[in-house]
């Protein structure tokens, strides 16, 4: 028994006429008669009562018709679901991100993706940078929106730049330099610095800031190294010192803080990338990348 035989049987049962069924199915009437006869032989019961004037379902045929229609419908549904899943239209997608840096664009991207692909279940979570990379490497995430530093160590990794933004000097509005449009790092030689803890910060960020300062003629006097980067603006707001953070932190920080451009800083932008593993077979990844590309 196969689906084709069931389709032939259902069509004959609907028309109660072999000729009309053959015309609808675009096959020879003899082919339908042969398939129905073969089906009856396999089942071991007569499905139709046939004579020269009419075709009628037997009681067994009437019961079998209901079951056959359900089987064909479920099979068609299963095939369609398999095709949609293969195309990424059905399934799930796990996305991890650095919360501060995606606020400007990710909510709109998510809304657009859900409108286009409502049958793809999204799992969205904020991770620290180190955990993002670990989860991506272990296959716990399909996609990560993070910094590129350290990603090259992951096998089969693919990366695309999503956004770049300036690093800024962050200080309280009461600071004597708070009204400057630009500040040279060398002018901050005596300032107390708050920098995200070296062991918990995104790979290289602590060293990046220290190295950046040293390149510009000062060794930062670090007075606090909070474990979580979100704590840095809070400590700056308490006027314990200044910091250097990407511009995107301005949108989530107190209005009493000033984010001031660094004079002479070229080629040192904060870079946000989207990363995924080439050997990840989840077809919804490419759909998300397409939506992100038109953000």
Non-local CB neighbours of 104 within 8 Å, separated by 6+ positions: 163, 248, 251
Per-residue DSSP letter, 52: S
Q: Which of 227, 241, 169 is nearest to 198 (CA)?
A: 227
What is the spatial distance between Cα 48 and Cα 57, in angstroms, rounded to a whole number?
Answer: 4
Q: Which of 62, 60, 59 is nearest to 43 (CA)?
A: 60
91-164+271-293 and 167-267 share one fold:
yes
CATH superfamily ID and name for 167-267: Periplasmic binding protein-like II (3.40.190.10)
pLDDT score for 64: 92
Do the Cβ atoms of 272 and 164 come closer than 8 Å? yes
| Claim: this prediction has a pTM higher than 0.85 | no
Do the Cβ atoms of 165 and 269 come closer than 8 Å? yes
pLDDT score for 145: 95
Q: List pLDDT tens digits, range 207-251.
A: 888 988 998 889 999 999 998 888 999 999 999 999 999 999 998
At 203, is the pLDDT very low, low, confident or very high (cuts 50, 70, 90)? low
Domain ranges of the chain: 3-86, 91-164+271-293, 167-267
Non-local CB neighbours of 62 within 8 Å, separated by 6+ positions: none
pLDDT score for 129: 80
Q: List pLDDT tens digits, range 41-50.
A: 999 999 999 8
Q: Which of 26-30, 35-39, 72-76 has the lowest mean pLDDT?
A: 72-76
Q: Which of 199, 195, 205 is nearest to 98 (CA)?
A: 205
At 204, is the pLDDT very low, low, confident or very high (cuts 50, 70, 90)? low
Place of tokens 């899943």: 85
- Domain 3-86 is of which CATH architecture? Orthogonal Bundle (1.10)
Per-residue DSSP letter, 58: -
- C-alpha gyration radius of the chain: 33
Check pLDDT > 80 for residue 79: no
Paired tokens of 178: 């708070």
Domain 91-164+271-293 = CATH 3.40.190.10: yes
């Amino acid at each position: 028994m196969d689906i084709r035989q069931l389709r032939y049987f259902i069509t004959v049962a609907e028309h109660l006429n072999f000729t009309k069924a053959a015309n609808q199915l675009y096959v020879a009437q003899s082919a339908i008669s042969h398939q129905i006869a073969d089906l009856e032989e396999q089942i071991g019961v007569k499905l139709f009562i046939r004579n020269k004037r009419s075709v009628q379902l037997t009681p067994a045929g009437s019961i079998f018709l209901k079951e056959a229609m359900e089987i064909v419908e479920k099979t068609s549904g299963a095939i369609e679901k398999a095709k949609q899943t293969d195309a990424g239209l059905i399934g799930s997608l796990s996305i991890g991100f650095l919360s501060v840096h995606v606020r400007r664009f990710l909510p709109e991207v998510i809304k657009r993706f859900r409108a286009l692909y409502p049958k793809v279940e999204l799992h969205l979570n904020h991770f620290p940078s180190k955990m993002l990379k670990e989860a991506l490497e272990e296959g716990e995430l399909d996609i990560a929106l993070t910094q590129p530093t350290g990603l090259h160590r992951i096998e089969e990794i693919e990366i695309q730049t999503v956004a770049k933004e300036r690093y800024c000097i962050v200080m309280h509005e009461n600071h004597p330099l708070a009204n400057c449009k630009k500040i040279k790092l060398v002018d901050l030689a005596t300032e107390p610095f708050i920098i995200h803890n070296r062991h918990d910060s995104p790979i290289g960020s602590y060293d990046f800031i220290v190295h950046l300062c040293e390149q510009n003629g000062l060794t930062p006097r670090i007075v606090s190294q909070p474990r979580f980067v979100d704590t840095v603006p809070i400590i700056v707001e308490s006027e314990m010192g200044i910091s250097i953070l990407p511009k995107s932190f301005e949108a989530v920080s107190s209005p009493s803080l000033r984010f001031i451009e660094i004079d002479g800083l070229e080629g040192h932008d904060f870079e946000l990338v989207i990363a995924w593993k080439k050997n990840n077979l989840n077809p919804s990844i490419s759909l998300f990348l397409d939506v992100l590309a038109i953000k």
